[in-house]
Every structure is written in C-alpha cells, then in structure tokens.
Amino acid sequence: MIIFAPVFQMSMELIQSSQELRNRLSEMKAKGTIGFVPTMGALHSGHLSLVERAVCECDNVVVSIFVNPTQFNDRADLERYPRNLDADMQMLRNTGCHFVFAPTVDDIYPEPDTRTFDFEGLDTVMEGKFRPGHFNGVAQVVSRLFSMVEPDKAYFGLKDFQQLAIVKQMVSQLQLNVEIIPCSIIREENGLAMSSRNELLSEEERKNAAIIYKTLTNAVKLTGKYSVTQLIQWMKDEINNNHYMDVEYVEIVDVGNLQPVKDWNHTGKILACVATWCGKVRLIDNMVLN
Ligand code: AMP
C-alpha cells in the first residue's frame, strides 16, 4: 500500500505598502492574534529564532524588513548595510511566517519624523553615547511600524539589550497595547553573536571576533574577584590585545536602568556590555554577570 504523506505548503505573502498591509491585516485580526518581528533584513538564524517563537505564540506573524535611515548616525554605515530581499524571503519561507512587510522609506516617512522621545536616561549611556540620535530613530520607526501592524506581541533580541529597554520605555510612554517579548542571543559556533554586520567581516576577522564572547564568559568567572573598575579594564585589555579589535566601550550596568554599577554589592542583575570595532565593522554583545 502506498501512503501519501500530506505536504504542508505554507503560503507567505510579500507586502510592500502600508495600505496593503492594513487591508490584509484587518481581515486577519478578526481571526486571531498578531505577532510582529521588526528587522532590517540580511536575515540570519538570530532573526529566525524570533520569528519561530512568534509563530509558536501567535496566529498571524508579520516580519518587517526595513533599513531605517533615521537610526543611522553614520551615512557610510547606512550605505554599507547589507540588503538582499530575495535571500531574506528564502530564509523566511519555511518558518511559518505569514507576511513579510518590506516598505519603502517614503511609505514609512511620508514627511520627516520630528518627534523626540524621553527615555529617562536609558539613551545617554553606551550605544546612546556613541551613536547620538540612534535610539530616537529606533523609537520613531518602531512606533510607526507598531501603528501599521498593531501587533499583540512584538519580539526583540537581547543582543540589542539597550534597544529592548528603549522600546519598552517607548511603549509605556505612548501607552501602546503591545507585549514586548525578549528573546535569547543566538551565537555562531565560535560564540560570536550573530549579526547582519558579520557578513561584512573577512574570514580572519570573523574568527578573531570570537574574543568578544570568550572575554564575556571569562568576565562572569571573574565577577566578585576583581573590582568593577578592574574587571572593565581587564575586559578592554583582553579584547584590545587581539589586533583585529579596537574597543569602543566596555560597561558594567544595572539591567533595569542601564546605569553603571559601582561595586558587587549592587542589588539586582548586572550586565556587561561591549562595543568594539573589528576592522570597519562595529560589533556589540552583552552577558549577565550574576
Ligand atoms: P536587526 O535586523 O539587526 O535590526 O535585528 C532585528 C531583531 O533581531 C532585533 O530585535 C535584534 O535584537 C534581533 N537579533 C539580531 N541578532 C540577534 C541574535 N544574534 N540573537 C537574537 N536576536 C537577534
């Protein structure tokens, strides 16, 4: 007897205008919850882990692919940012995602967005200090995308820890009705946090960038043995001793308010955060220390 196994063909729709998205989603909303994964494309397994979680938890899943100009404070970085919609569609095909929303800049910003947000100090440290205006741009685009998708849940990676804190702050400031779901950092085999920017690294740089993860995991072991200041210096030296690396900052902060921690008597969770250049590519990573 021949048994025919059923073949499930997931259909996934590419939508390129906000109007079309609104039309399609208004039908879907009646049928269940909406999960949303905002991305800038050049997808990798880190992004897919967010999509897979959304598919498990929501009836309809929208993934946006939009390289947001307002969050780039460096024009060269914006121009260099990898873009490949066909490859991204291919990556998403078997995830169970329903809609890929890939709008144009004019659709997201029919006129310039002049809003400024108050992040209560979350934006004055680390990424905010080195990339002025970056988080205001993130809040602009995420709030616009949220108003188009109207998701029940939105998924963000812990790799961009500060971004996650900023998005939560924006949601509470604008009193939006969306649950923000933090998702674990997905790493390459050598420990390097997956990132679209890793595509821009040479093979040698990619290999050497494993020093970031190695330093973070060793920092966990040294927590409490060195003072906070000594540990920061030790981490900077460890990473900078690799001649492919040029550290921008190492910070040890409270996970809630992202302010620097002075000593290990600190109550609450403590996070070590790193930003370093590897050649022309800027990489970030973080790890909870306690
Ligand atoms: P991006 O396309 O870089 O804007 O990232 C889109 C989303 O994917 C953000 O919420 C990121 O934090 C998340 N993400 C990026 N890389 C990773 C990773 N390696 N592991 C988990 N989430 C990630």
**Burial class of residue 226 (count of CB atoms within 10 Å of its CB; 0-12, 13-18, 19+):** middle
Residue 168 Cα to ligand 1 midpoint, Å, equals 16
The whole-number pLDDT of residue 9 equals: 45
Q: pLDDT tens digits, the chain, 290 residues: what are they?
A: 555 544 444 589 999 999 999 999 998 888 899 999 999 999 999 999 999 999 999 999 999 999 999 999 889 999 999 999 999 999 999 999 999 999 999 999 999 999 999 999 999 999 999 999 999 999 999 999 999 999 999 999 999 999 999 999 999 999 999 999 999 999 999 999 999 999 999 999 999 999 999 999 999 999 999 999 999 999 999 999 999 999 999 999 999 999 999 999 999 999 999 999 999 999 999 999 99
Bridge partners (DSSP) of residue 63 are 37, 100
* Residue 102 Ramachandran class (φ > 0 left, ψ -120 to 50 alpha, else beta): beta
Q: Which residue from 47, 48, 138 has its CB within 8 A of the most atoms of ligand 1, so it is best to mutate?
A: 47
The whole-number pLDDT of residue 31 equals: 81
Separation CA 35–CA 38 (nearest Å)? 10
The whole-number pLDDT of residue 27 equals: 86
Residue 243 annotated as catalytic = no
The whole-number pLDDT of residue 7 equals: 42
Could you identify the residue written with the tokens 């008597």?
A: 265
- Would you say the CB of residue 198 lies under 6 angstroms from ligand 1? no
Residue 19: CB atoms within 10 A of its CB come to: 10
HSE value, Cβ hemisphere, 13 Å, CA-based, for 76: 3
Q: What CA–CA distances, in Å, run from 92 to 134, 185, 191?
A: 27, 19, 24
Could you identify the residue written with the tokens 């540990």?
A: 231
- Would you say the CB of residue 195 lies under 6 angstroms from ligand 1? yes
- Would you say the CB of residue 183 lies under 6 angstroms from ligand 1? yes
The whole-number pLDDT of residue 1 equals: 54
Residue minimizing CA distance to atom 8 of ligand 1: 47
The whole-number pLDDT of residue 29 equals: 85
Q: Which of 125, 117, 132 is nearest to 259 (CA)?
A: 125
Atom number, ligand 1, closest to the C-alpha of residue 41? 2
Residue 265 Cα to ligand 1 midpoint, Å, equals 32
The whole-number pLDDT of residue 11 equals: 87
The whole-number pLDDT of residue 280 equals: 93
Q: Which residue from 43, 138, 159 has its CB within 8 A of the most atoms of ligand 1, so it is best to mutate?
A: 159
- Would you say the CB of residue 62 lies under 6 angstroms from ligand 1? no
- Would you say the CB of residue 68 lies under 6 angstroms from ligand 1? no
Taking every pair of Cα atoms in the chain, the longest distance, rounded to a whole number of angstroms, is: 72
The whole-number pLDDT of residue 28 equals: 85
Which DSSP helix (H) or strand (E) runs through 75? helix 75-80
